Amino acid sequence: MFEFDFIEWLSSQMAEHPDVVLGVGDDAAILMASGDLQVLTTDLLLEGVHFELGSATCEQIGRKALAVSLSDVAAMGAIPTVAVLNFAFPKTLAFAAAQAIFQGSLQLAREFKVAIVGGDTNRWNQGLVVGSTVLGRMQHSGWRLSGAQPGDLLLVSGSLGGSLLGKHLDFAPRCDLAAALAPFIGIHAATDISDSLTIDLAEICRQSQVGVCLEAARIPVAPAAHLRAEQTGKPALEHALFDGEDFELLLAVEPQVAGRMLAEPRLAGQLTPIGFFDGSEKLVLRRPDGSEEPLPIRGYEH
């Protein structure tokens, strides 16, 4: 039987993890609850919405399903610990393809020392669905969307735009960066860029009740955004502002602390200051020529 064989096979793929008392194969997993705070996040990836079976490999689909949840854990400043995965496989999908999807998740899980402790496997006559739920732990109170303060600098990791050309399938969730940043006191808010720089930034502003000035000239525009600009005829900056699925960290940080981060050799080149928050509740885009306009808020429409 497909489901049974699949679970037998994936159970054989698991490594040990200090938080896991009992993993796959029972009604539920058993975990050690440490004294720290935990974070819990979940995502559901759908064929035709978040990936196409034709253009993404099975490994990439499985990888992305877990990666988007790891990115959320990183955006809280937490360390991911355990995950459960859900699969709805089309009945036409081969067993080897199901294995490859799981392998994609598992390889990423190993990379970040995350234990896969359970899941639910089903087959049906419709599209492929992969769900992931990840637990993490942290020793601070969490980088919330609501904590940005006037005067905070806006920092972003990596570079932005053109994710559809490939990065949306093979991005590295910023867990290592989050772990390196966790000891810094003065990170007031954070999120990961999934919808788009402008949408996710607007959500920080809304929840924090602050305004922001985003400096266009400082935004790290990805090479893929330039490639995409050649295809669309739009400026590469627009792709950095609106494409989404960059899965980079967006942080609101106390200026002195941001200065220390930017000077820290271990973090060299990983963070770019791209603006500052203020008490205005206005969202402003400052163009390279110094002119300012209301920040347009939009993203990729699935």
24 is a contact residue toward a second copy (CB under 8 A) = no
Measured from the CB atom, is 141 or 232 closer to a second copy?
141
**88 is an interface residue for a second copy by CB under 8 A:** yes
Point out which span in 7-15, 160-168, 186-194, 281-289 binds a second copy (CB under 8 A).
186-194
Query: Is residue 127 close enough to count as binding a second copy by CB under 8 A?
Result: yes
3-state secondary structure 243-281: CCCCCCEEEEECHHHHHHHHHCHHHCCCEEEEEEEECCC
* Stretch binding a second copy (CB under 8 A), from 39-47, 180-188, 226-234, 266-274: 39-47
Distance of CA 251 to the CA centre of its chain: 13
Under the binding rule (CB under 8 A), the answer on residue 298 touching a second copy is no
Whether residue 132 contacts residue 85, with contact meaning beta carbons closer than 8 Å, is answered with yes
Closest CA to 272 of 295, 248, 256: 248
Residue 155 interacts with a second copy (CB under 8 A)?
Answer: no
Which of 6, 10, 17, 43 is in the footprint of a second copy by CB under 8 A?
43
How far apart are alpha carbons 263 and 273 in whole angstroms? 12
- Which span sits near a second copy by CB under 8 A: 17-25, 152-160, 166-174, 266-274? 17-25
Tokens 């196409």, located at residue: 52
Q: How many residues are present in the chain?
A: 302
Binding residues with a second copy: total (CB under 8 A): 63
**CB nearer to a second copy: pick between 125 and 291:** 125
Cβ pair 254, 188 in contact under 8 A:
yes
Q: Which is nearer to a second copy, 28 or 263 (CB)?
A: 28
Give the CA count within 13 Å in the CB-facing half-sphere of 23.
22
Residue from 72, 243, 245, 248 touching a second copy (CB under 8 A): that is 72
Contact status: 34 vs a second copy (CB under 8 A) = yes
Half-sphere exposure of 272 (CA within 13 A, CB side): 16
What three-state secondary structure class fits 180? helix
| Binds a second copy by CB under 8 A, chosen from 13, 42, 57, 272 | 42
Task: Report the residue from 44, 164, 179, 284 that binds a second copy according to the rule CB under 8 A.
Answer: 44
Of 5, 9, 15, 38, which one interacts with a second copy (CB under 8 A)?
Answer: 38
CB of 167 to a second copy, least distance (A): 19
Calculate the dihedral angle through the C-alpha atoms of 147, 153, 159, 162, rounding to the nearest 10 degrees.
60
CB of 119 to a second copy, least distance (A): 6
293 lines the binding site for a second copy (CB under 8 A): no
**In 3D, which of 45, 87, 86, 48 has the Cα closest to residue 65?**
45
Q: Which of 25, 66, 19, 52 is nearest to 38 (CA)?
A: 19
Residues that bind a second copy (CB under 8 A): 21-22, 25-44, 46-50, 72-73, 75-76, 78, 82, 84-88, 117-120, 122, 124-127, 129, 131, 133, 135-137, 141-142, 144-146, 190-192, 207, 302
